[in-house]
A and B are shown apart, each in its own frame.
Chain A
Amino acid sequence: MLAFILRRLVQAMIVMITVALIAFMLFQYVGDPVTFLLGQDVTPEESRALRAALGLDQPFVVQFWHFLANAAQGEFGFSLRQGVKVSTLIAERFPATIELALVAALLALVIGVPMGVYAALRRGSFLSQVFMTISLLGVSLPTFLIGILLILVFAVQLGWFPSFGRGEVVSIGGWTTGLLTAKGWHHITLPAVTLAIFQLTLIMRLVRAEMLEVLRTDYIKFARARGLTDRAVHFGHALKNTLVPVITITGLQLGGLIAFAIITETVFQWPGMGLLFIQAVNFADIPVMAAYLCLIALIFVVINLSVDLLYFVVDPRLRVDRAGGH
């Protein structure tokens, strides 16, 4: 097990360094930072002085090392567009995105798993067909369109929910949360539902497919042959085995949610990292893009590692073989 975790850690390191390298290359080769900082009309002397000051005249490896060292401390320089420290910008936006993603993930899981189980167990029933049709619709409906539709119906026509912003937020030790105020929940409803729908359909389809696969296995047949109740077979044996792969995908989906939040945040003007990123992309604000990229990669790596560790809890085959052989 230790070896497995070590291997995973090494893999995670490689991914992080690769992403950091990409981010670094963005800095280096996409647009000249000197031009960004000083404008087009600049004398060669000024340019050279700034280059030296920024360390841009040093060898590639040295520069990359500096970049890594800075990045490790969350230091990505200043936003080209807003002139504010990137780390400050991100820290401001981080809680909004995390809260949105978590609420959406919870929604997707709580609704998606039971729907998938039902669709697998009552295959061919009317409700299952309805679920499958909905899921196909969910896969075919782009997230931004879902958001627009929800705004049109619930914000513009009915006026039930607000369509932009976080509403009232409370700050607890630097973490701003909207989940402690009624207004905050009121504001998060539409974005969270929007973000959840696509994941929900994915989870539902995944659970259904895995469950059907598991229901075909010999051990389920043998469990039935032993006369176990349908309840024990479906919700004990089958569900437990279904959830093993579902855990991985759902874990990875959490990362997906944070990425998809870019779209949702744009539609609902949700002041999170996604909105920050898309604005950075539109204005070619490289430091913000690079920082976002590294942060997202870090979140993904952490999620992947957690999922791997969860596996040990769920699947006895991966635990240390206590019997020591046969």
Chain B
Amino acid sequence: MIAALRHWLDSDIGYSFRSSPTALVAALIALVCGIAALFAPWVAPHNPFDLVTLELANARLPPAWYAEGSKTFLLGTDDQGRDILSAVIYGARISLAVGLASVVLSVVVGVTLGLLAGYLGGWIDAFLMRLCDVMLSFPAILVALLIAGVGRAMFSNAHETLAFGVLILSITLTGWVQYARTVRGSTLVERNKEYVQAARVTGVSSLRIMRRHVLPNVLGPVLVLATIHVATAIITEATLSFLGVGAPPTSPSLGTLIRIGNDYLFSGEWWITIFPGVMLVLIALSVNLLGDWLRDALNPRLR
């Protein structure tokens, strides 16, 4: 029965995917960006962090299609002579890594707390939901900024790893709420169904019931949330980095690159800031499109 249902779901989703050109294109872009980021050391034409190869003579070169441009640096160079294309690929790698890590952590924390709140109820539930209310009444970016800012204040000359830790933590702490709420809602519904009640009566442990019966039912909505959250997390990371409290300049994410390039906007070197921006939008847009498509595909009523 479940296998048949799953098969039907698969084929339905599969059909919806095949028949949606937007989803296909978005998936393709996301895939290309993802692969480029994953294999950055092999894909990027230069190593932008190898100080030996940097030459100031190559600084602030425009993209290759300009007369002053150079074929070696397809998208131009920044103020230190770094190849923009390579910097963008490495930057995307960092942005994606931070974004994905934050989402995974958020899902783990949110789903766990949501299950607990929904299944156990009582004061745990009341406390967690109050906490969610308070968290949700403030914009995520503000909370993340605050955490990142406090993190900086506490470990002022911190190691790079710690900086990333704080960054991921700040995005996670604002991201788990949506999962907790959704999962709690579905858990409440599932908990009162007869088969769960029956399992309880026959003495199956709570943990087992949650894992076997409740968890599979909440994965659909969580998947949709998580997909869109990847885009949000990447944008949040970029924003924090742009504001100077995110990824350190030594390992620049896309946001850091935009921040650096922003200083050269008025002197006409637009490419230093625009290309990282384009990459950021490409990633965020394709992931958002995929998330939108997934939500519609899982919930046909909305179409």
Contact = CB atoms under 8 A, between A and B. Distances in A.
Interface of A: 15, 18, 26, 30-31, 136-137, 139-145, 148-149, 151-152, 156, 212, 252, 255-256, 259-260, 262-263, 266-267, 277-278, 280-282, 284, 286, 289, 293, 296-297, 300, 304
Given A263-B243, A293-B146, A15 B134 contact: yes
Given A284-B156, A300-B137, A144 B145 contact: no
Interface string B120-143: 000000000000001001110110
B88 to A, nearest CB: 14
19 contacts: A18-B134, A137-B281, A140-B288, A141-B284, A148-B258, A148-B265, A152-B270, A152-B274, A156-B265, A256-B139, A260-B139, A262-B145, A263-B239, A263-B242, A263-B243, A267-B262, A281-B149, A282-B244, A293-B146
Contact of A30 (B148, B150, B235, B281): B150
Contacts of A256: 139
A281 B154 CA distance: 11
Given A15-B134, A148-B277, A136 B152 contact: no
Nearest to B266: A156
B238 to A, nearest CB: 6
Given A30-B153, A140-B285, A284-B152, A300 B266 contact: no
B137 A304 contact: yes
B288 to A, nearest CB: 5
Interface of B: 134, 137-139, 141-142, 145-146, 148-150, 152-154, 156, 231, 235, 238-239, 242-245, 258, 262, 265-266, 268, 270, 273-274, 277, 280-281, 284-285, 288-289, 292, 302
Contacts of B266: 156
Nearest to A300: B137
A219 B258 CA distance: 51
Given A15-B134, A259-B141, A281-B148, A142 B153 contact: no
Contacts of A255: 137-139
Contacts of B235: 140, 142
A278 B289 CA distance: 32
Contacts of B137: 15, 252, 255, 300, 304
B265 A152 contact: yes
Given A262-B145, A278-B244, A284-B152, 10 more contacts: A136-B288, A139-B288, A140-B284, A145-B277, A156-B266, A252-B137, A256-B139, A262-B243, A282-B149, A296-B142
Contacts of A136: 285, 288-289, 292
Contacts of B156: 284
B245 A281 contact: yes
Contacts of B238: 142, 144-145
B137 to A, nearest CB: 6
Nearest to A143: B239
B146 A151 contact: no
B280 A142 contact: yes
Main secondary structure of the interface of B (DSSP, over half): helix
Contacts of A284: 149, 152-153, 156
Contacts of A267: 262
Contacts of A293: 146
Contacts, number: 113
A280 B37 CA distance: 34
A90 to B, nearest CB: 16
A140 B137 CA distance: 22
B138 A259 contact: yes
Nearest to B274: A152
A258 to B, nearest CB: 9
Contacts of A300: 137-138
Contacts of A142: 235, 238-239, 242, 280, 284
B280 A30 contact: no
B141 A145 contact: no
B150 A144 contact: no
Nearest to A252: B137
Contacts of A262: 141-142, 145, 243
A275 to B, nearest CB: 10
Contacts of B150: 26, 30, 289
A304 B137 CA distance: 9
A289 B147 CA distance: 11
Contacts of A252: 137
Nearest to B228: A139
Contacts of B273: 148
Given A259-B141, A293-B146, A286 B243 contact: no
A90 B268 CA distance: 35
B94 to A, nearest CB: 16
Contact of A140 (B138, B152, B270, B281): B281
Contacts of B152: 281-282, 284
Contacts of A286: 153
Contacts of A304: 137
Contact of A278 (B231, B243, B274): B243
A157 B91 CA distance: 27
A92 B149 CA distance: 23
Contacts of B277: 145, 148-149
